[in-house]
Amino acid sequence: MPKTPESLQPDQEVNNKNEEIITPERVDLSEKGTPIIEKKDRILTGMRPTGSLHLGHYVGALENWIKLQGNYDCHFLIADYQAFGDYADNISKIRDSVIEVAMDWLSVGLDPHKTTFVIQSYVPEHAELAMLLSMIIPKWMIDRNPTLKAESATQKDVSLGFYNYPASQAADILLPKANLVPVGEDQLPHIELTREIARKFNRMYGHIFPIPTALVGRVPRLVGIDGKAKMSKSLGNCVYLSDSPEVIAKKVKKMFTDPTRLKATDPGHLEGNVVFTYLDAFHPDAAELESLKKKYTEGKIGDGEVKNILAELLNAFLEPIRERRAFYQAHPEAVREALLEGTEKAKKVAAATMLEVREAMEITGYEDIKNIKKIIEK
């Protein structure tokens, strides 16, 4: 596989800094005193391939993934089985999106030489373990899951498969025996359920699974350009990682600011101001940002000027992402290899865990003639 040029590698700033990102109060969902994970512990996280990734994905999750890769055994899952729950009538959309998500991941600097990219449906053990786990998940545990509630409210005919989403996600995490799951805030209920199921499985059949810990990104929820609580394709309010400089400029121009401000000399308000929400998320210089905020609230700078600053910052942030994207566009075989080699590696891990699970659950022994005799002679 061609290596990405050194100049296109993301900054290597981790090493001793992990302690900073994994602070116990952000990691620990319920149990007190969960230990900080060990080097080379395993990470599993993933995304549903349902479209291009946006800035919210970056600050909510991908940024952490980039920091963690190389220091841990990272498995990044493209959860196409799970996407069927939304798009069973449009499989080709999912198929395209698997590639698009891989491109977005490679473009932000996830490195397939250091990590494992996995196509979920190419490792059918994900489905096998999901099925087995679904037998020990009480239905009420699914009914109270807030993420599922919110998502099923928007669907007309909720399928059984969609209902099984939390079992599938628990299986995704437990199959590679992950210790840490860096995700967006909306995924926390699934991780909590995964922990409960892992504990229950271990109690019932023997200790197989580590109890995984969640890690949420620096900006848990980035609003859309219209100020709505969530970026979503259907609302048309996303800023994509693949947007061109021209599109970025246009979208920033459309961003909501302070509706009470009529001219540049009016004192501006920061609260609920989308442009400043984005500046908070992406401005690299805290002191400069503070002085910009001061000018704005004192009516010393116009909305247009602040927007220009933001557009420039976003374009500077996206530039290396665009360069890496261009590299992979010129090397489609590298995209293919990232997906297939990772998936091959994951298959081995999955097979080993399923062997343990089958033995623990005693779903074995049918080839043993002694056992057959013992039963029929009874």
Rounded to the nearest whole angstrom, what is the least distance from the CB of residue 355 to ligand TRP in the complex? 22
Rounded to the nearest whole angstrom, what is the least distance from the CB of residue 296 to ligand TRP in the complex? 35
| Cβ distance to ligand TRP smaller for residue 123 or 313 | 123
Tokens, residue 200: 């229950």
Residues pairing with 216 in the sheet: 183
3 neighbors 113 (Cβ within 8 angstroms): yes
Long-range contacts, 19-24 (Cβ 8 Å, 24+): 21/64, 21/67, 21/68, 21/215, 22/180, 22/215
| Cβ distance to ligand TRP smaller for residue 172 or 243 | 172
Alpha-carbon distance of 46 to 41, in angstroms, equals 17
Rounded to the nearest whole angstrom, what is the least distance from the CB of residue 79 to ligand TRP in the complex? 4
| Cβ distance to ligand TRP smaller for residue 85 or 112 | 85
The helix/strand/coil state of 202 is helix
Rounded to the nearest whole angstrom, what is the least distance from the CB of residue 250 to ligand TRP in the complex? 27
| Cβ distance to ligand TRP smaller for residue 47 or 55 | 47
Binding site for ligand TRP (CB under 6 A): 44-48, 77, 79, 82, 169, 172-173, 181, 183, 187
Alpha-carbon distance of 47 to 56, in angstroms, equals 13
Rounded to the nearest whole angstrom, what is the least distance from the CB of residue 151 to ligand TRP in the complex? 9
| Cβ distance to ligand TRP smaller for residue 46 or 112 | 46
Cβ density class 247-281: b for 16+ within 10 Å, e for less:
ebbebbeebbbbeebeeeeeebeeeebbbbbbbbb
Q: What is the DSSP string of 77-123?
A: EE-HHHHHHHHTT-HHHHHHHHHHHHHHHHHHT--TTTSEEEEGGGS
Rounded to the nearest whole angstrom, what is the least distance from the CB of residue 67 to ligand TRP in the complex? 17
Rounded to the nearest whole angstrom, what is the least distance from the CB of residue 268 to ligand TRP in the complex? 35
| Cβ distance to ligand TRP smaller for residue 188 or 361 | 188
Alpha-carbon distance of 32 to 193, in angstroms, equals 17
Helix %, strand %, coil % for the chain, to 5?
55, 5, 35
| Cβ distance to ligand TRP smaller for residue 48 or 67 | 48
79 neighbors 44 (Cβ within 8 angstroms): no
